[in-house]
Structures are given as C-alpha cells and as structure tokens.
Amino acid sequence: MPHINAAAALQICVLLSALPAQYFISQWYGTDSVQRIQITERLIIASWSSFTKSYLSLDAWADRLKLWLSKTRTCLNVGLLILHFRNWYYGEKRTKIDDNEAETHSYFAESSHVRSPKPEYIQFSVGQVIVHKRFGYSGVIVGWDVKAKAPEEWLRHRYPPAKQDLKDTPHYRILINKANEFGKSTAYIAEEEITIIMGLEVVHHPDMKAYFSGYDGSKYIMQPWLKKIYPHD
C-alpha cells in the first residue's frame, strides 16, 4: 500500500473540497465552464489563504496562545480568590468557635491559666476537703479563682443586689462527696461559705482520680497537670 505524506494528503483534501464547490458554483453562476473554473480557482486560493493565516501562521498561533493564557490566568485568579475567601471565612468561623470555647472553659475555676503567684488572701488550697457551712455537704477543692468568673446570667441569679460584693471574693470549684447524696456533683462557691475539714480522706466522686493521685493525711495530692496550674497549693 503506497505511503501518503502530509503534502499529498493536503492536496487530496483541496481537490475533494473543489468538487462540492464546483457544484454550488454551477448552481449559482450558470454553466459556463470557463467562468466556473475561474471562480473555483479564486475560491481555492481564498480558502488556502484563510487556512494558512489561521493554522499555518505563527502570529495566529501566538494570538491563540495569548488568549488561552489570558483565560487560564483569569480562572486561576478566580480560583485563588475563592480559596482565599474560603480560608478567611472558615478561619474566622473557627476563631470565633475557639474564642467561645476558651471563654467557656475560663468559667468556674476551669481555666488552665497558671495561678502564680498565689495571693495571700486565698485561704484554701486545691486538694483540701471542705464542708459547706449552710448545706452541710462535704467535698474536695479542685480549683479556685481570685474572684467569681461565671456568665453574667449565672452571677445575677446567684447573687442578688444585697450580695453583689461576694462576686469579688475568692471562689472555689468543689467535687461534692457522693456519700452526701446532695444531688449535685460539683459546686462553685464563695470562700465565706466553706470551712476546712482535717483528717477526712474518703471523698467519693467519679472524677477523683483525674484530679488526684492519693492522700497525704491532710489533703489530696494533685496530679502533675493540676500541680502545674496551682504550683503554690
């Protein structure tokens, strides 16, 4: 089978395209053979010129490349803009969530902020066993704040106008002894409402081991993570 190179293939395409062209020319311009040949030649020359300008010209391909790069650059810029907006939106959202979580965990002596130095007016320490003066339940101290840190709604409910000054006094977070059957597992109370019990080792609460590793005869021994927060207790 003979090999057809690109030039031969191009010539065949041109000849084949001339056949339908001649047919339409005969329909439009009559049947004069000389006229048809001239018109056919002009059409072929015009088609070839248009083809070379569109597909065989370096300038034409350069223009196509510029157009493609321009579209690609536009799409890339739009994509980067969308990506930046997405990162900003979810970053802002995540930051707000983190801020809210951090604020929530700063309430009720749950903040991981290191309490150092310890103010002299803080009478009690983490690990000491206490009893509530009014309600009579016992428990163990697991944290303290130099003054009440709680949501405003909680503070308004807890301290009516006559007791507003208690908000600025030390507050303690307590794990309540389950043996008292008090109904609550934790409490956050002002210093003036509690007193220390010496020599009472047994405090039943499911979270005791998370906070303490043992008892030294006077107070519970803090776990290392808790000791870092209250180094002077």
pLDDT of residue 180: 85
Alpha-carbon distance 149 to 35, whole Å?
103
- State pTM to two decimals: 0.57
Alpha-carbon distance 73 to 82, whole Å?
14
Summarised one tens digit per residue, pLDDT across range 83-137 is 555 555 555 444 444 444 444 468 999 999 999 999 999 999 999 999 999 999 9
Write the secondary structure of 187-203 as one string of H (helix), E (strand) and C (coil): EEEEHHHEEECCCCCCC
